[in-house]
Amino acid sequence: MLNDIQNTEENTKYYDRSFIIHQFIQRMNDSKATCSECNRFFYRHIKSRWYSNQESSSVCNDCFMKNQVKTSVEIWEKIYEYKPEECVVCKKRKKEYPEKYYYYYNENIFDSSRPSITGLVQKREDWEIIKKNLDECFGVCLECENIVNQILPCLKYDELKYYIEEQFLSDKITKEDYKNIMEFYRVDYDIKMKEIIDNLSKSLL
């Protein structure tokens, strides 16, 4: 039965696993180039998963990654200068408590398009985009973030979001209604989050 399926004209292209190694090696050799930074040769054909434009690159994967790390460090230094690591709840600062881990919190379950700061750095987004998102988030230490994350489930936003999506998927509300409701709760979520932070910062002094 399997042979019958594999041998049909329509499916042959999916089951043909023939592979000619010398053609692959020839393509590699044709793409051989010298890295403009370290002067070692590399194959443009062998793309890095971090660098989709490797075939047109004059830099090898190793040098590319080295530059990426350097760029990341520079961006994070700029971020810390623009918005220093300070917890909005306990008011502790990285300078005074270097052992503490800090996080730029900007999550909202009703806004899946809102990126994390770490994600923006990894994507090498423009500084203006990173800065805009920094303005929308608050700094929090890991300990206080855990407290916030203990409070959030009590507000039942997860259940509410699930209910709204279920109503939309079952055609009980229109697409326009769905967008409006999600936008309403996106704003509401941010307001509640600010209330939580304000109350915690006053109570945990």
Confidence of residue 2 (pLDDT cuts 50, 70, 90): very low
Label residue 3 by pLDDT band (50, 70, 90): low
CA–CA dist 160, 166 (Å, integer): 10
Beta bridge partners of 42: 33
| Residue from 135, 143, 35, 159 nearest 89 by CA | 143
Residue 57: predicted pLDDT: 63
Q: What is the predicted pLDDT for the residue at 167?
A: 92
The pLDDT value recorded for residue 47 is 52
Rounded distance between C-alpha atoms, residue 178 and residue 170, angstroms:
12
* Rounded mean pLDDT, 41-46: 68
Give residue limits of the domains in the chain.
21-65, 83-203
E strands of the chain, at which residues? 32-34, 41-43, 102-105, 138-141
DSSP 59: S
Query: What does the pLDDT look like over 134-184, one tens digit per residue?
Result: 998 888 888 888 888 888 888 899 999 999 999 999 999 999 999 999 999
pLDDT score, position 50: 45
Kindly tell me if the per-residue pLDDT of 52 is higher than 70: no
pTM of the model: 0.61
Q: What is the pLDDT of residues 64-115, one digit of tens each?
A: 777 766 778 888 889 999 998 888 888 888 778 777 788 888 888 898 888 8
CA separation for the pair 39, 35 (Å, rounded): 5
Collect all residues with Cβ–Cβ distance below 8 Å to 203 and sequence separation of at least 6.
none
Q: Which two tokens stand for residue 3?
A: 């042979």
**Whole-number average pLDDT of the chain:** 80
**Distance (Å, rounded) from C-alpha 193 to C-alpha 109?**
12
Burial 88-124 (b: 16+ CB within 10 A, else e): bbbebbbeeeeebebbbbbebebeeeeeebeebbeee
Instruction: With both helix axes pointing from N to C terminus, report the angle between 157-169 and 175-203 in degrees, rounded to the nearest 10.
Output: 180
